[in-house]
Amino acid sequence: MAIVYSSLVYLGYILIFPGFLFCFVAGMLITGIDRKIVAKMQKRVGPPILQPMYDFFKLMGKETIIPAAANKTVFLAAPIVGLAAMVVIQLFIPVISTPILYGTADLIVILYLLLIPALAEIYGGSASGSPYAGVGLSREMVTIIACELPLVLIFLSVAKTVGNAMGTGLCFSLSDIAAYQAANGSLMLKASMIPAAIAMLLVIPGETGNHPFDAAEAETEICEGMLAEYSGAPLGIYKLTHAIKTFTLTALFVALFLGGIGTGIVLLDALIEFAICVVLTIIFISLVHAVTARLKIEQLFKYYWTAVSAIALISLVLAWFGM
Partner 1 sequence: MDLPFVREAVKNLFSRSSCDMYPLKPSEAAEQYRGRIEYDPTKCINCHFCERVCAGGAISVVEVPVEEGTQITRTFDLSTCTFCNTCADFCNTHAIKLTKDYHMIGLKEGDLLVSGTFVKAAKKKPAPPPAEAKPEEKAAPAIKPRDDGKPVQDPSKCVYCGICAKKCLGEALTVDRKEKLWKLDEDKCVSCGTCEEVCPKKAIIM
Partner 2 sequence: MTNLLSYTHFPVYSIMVLFLGAFLVVIAGKSKALRHIFAICAVTASLACLIALIKPVMIDGEVIAYWMGAREPAGGYAIGIALEVDALSLFFGLLIATAVFVSCCYSITYMRFDENVSQYYTLFLMLSGGVIGLVLSGDLFNMFIMVEILTFAAVALTAFRNKAHGALEAAFKYLVVGCIGSTCILAGTIMLYAQARTLNFAQLSAFIPGNFNTSTIIAFALLYIGFSTKAFIVPFHPLAADAHGAAPASISVLISGVLTKSGIYGIIRLTYFLFQSMALGKMQFLLVFIGSVSMFVCVTMALAQHDFKRLLAFHSISQIGYVLTACGLCTALGISAGLYHAMNHTLFKGLLFLAAGAVLQQTGTTDLNKLGGLSKRMPHTTVLFLIGAFSISGIPPFNGFASKWMVYQATYQKAVESGNIGFLFATIIALITSVLTLASFVKVSQSVFFGQLPEEYKDVKEVPFGMRFAMGIFAVLCIVTGLFRELVTHYLTEPAARAVFDVGKYINSMLGDGYASAVMGANAPVRTEVVFDMAGTWQPIHWLLLLCILLLAITLVALLGRYDTVSENKAALAEGKFDIFFGGEESVPSQVGGGDLFWGFKHNWRHYFSFMHDLHSGIVNDYALWAIVALALAMLYMLIVL
Partner 3 sequence: MFKNLITESTAKSPWLFHINSGSCNGCDIELVAVLTPRYDAERFGFKLAGSPRHADIVVVSGPLTQQSLPRTLRAISQVPEPRCIVTIGSCPQSGNVFKGSYSVMAPLSKYVHVDVAVAGCTPKPEAIMDGLVQATEILKEKRKAWLEAKKNGLKDGPKAETEQEVPAAEDVPASGEEVQQ
Residues that bind partner 1 (CB under 8 A): 37, 39-46, 287-288, 290-292, 303, 307
Nearest residue (CB) to partner 1, 180 versus 304: 304
Q: Is 71 in the site for partner 3 (CB under 8 A)?
A: no
Among residues 50, 15, 66, the alpha carbon closest in space to that of 243 is found at 50
From 42-50, 254-262, 279-287, 292-300, give the range in contact with partner 2 by CB under 8 A: 292-300
What is the total residue count of the chain? 323
Sole window of 185-193, 233-241, 257-265, 273-281 interacting with partner 2 (rule: CB under 8 A)? 233-241
Between CA 249 and CA 277 the distance in angstroms is 9
CB of 229 to partner 3, least distance (A): 6
DSSP one-letter code for 264: S
By C-beta, is 160 or 211 nearer to partner 1? 211
Site for partner 3 in 234-263 (CB under 8 A): 235
Q: Is 104 exposed, middle or buried (0-12, 13-18, 19+ CB in 10 A)?
A: middle
CB of 18 to partner 2, least distance (A): 12
- Rank residues 160 and 211 by Cβ distance to partner 3 and give the closer one: 211
Beta-carbon contacts of 164 under 8 Å, excluding residues fewer than 6 positions away, are: 319, 322
Grouping H, G, I as helix, E, B as strand and the rest as coil, residue 98 is strand
Q: What is the largest distance, in Å, between two alpha-carbon atoms of the chain?
A: 59
Residues 19-58 that bind partner 3 (CB under 8 A): 39, 42-48, 51, 53-58
Task: Tell me which of partner 1, partner 3, partner 2, none is bound by residue 112, counting a contact when its beta carbon lies within the kind-specific cut-off of 5 to 8 angstroms.
Answer: partner 2
Rounded CA-CA distance 19/281 in Å is 20
* Contact between residue 64 and residue 232 where contact means Cβ atoms under 8 Å apart: yes
Q: State which residue, 88 or 276, has the beta carbon closest to partner 2.
A: 88
Q: Mark 124-153 with x for binding to partner 3 (rule: CB under 8 A) and - for no binding.
A: --------x---------------------
Task: Please name every residue paired with 173 in a beta bridge, in sequence order, or none if there are none.
Answer: 106
CB of 301 to partner 2, least distance (A): 5
Instruction: Report the distance separating Cα 71 and Cα 52, nearest Å.
Output: 29
Binding to partner 2 by residue 153, rule CB under 8 A? yes
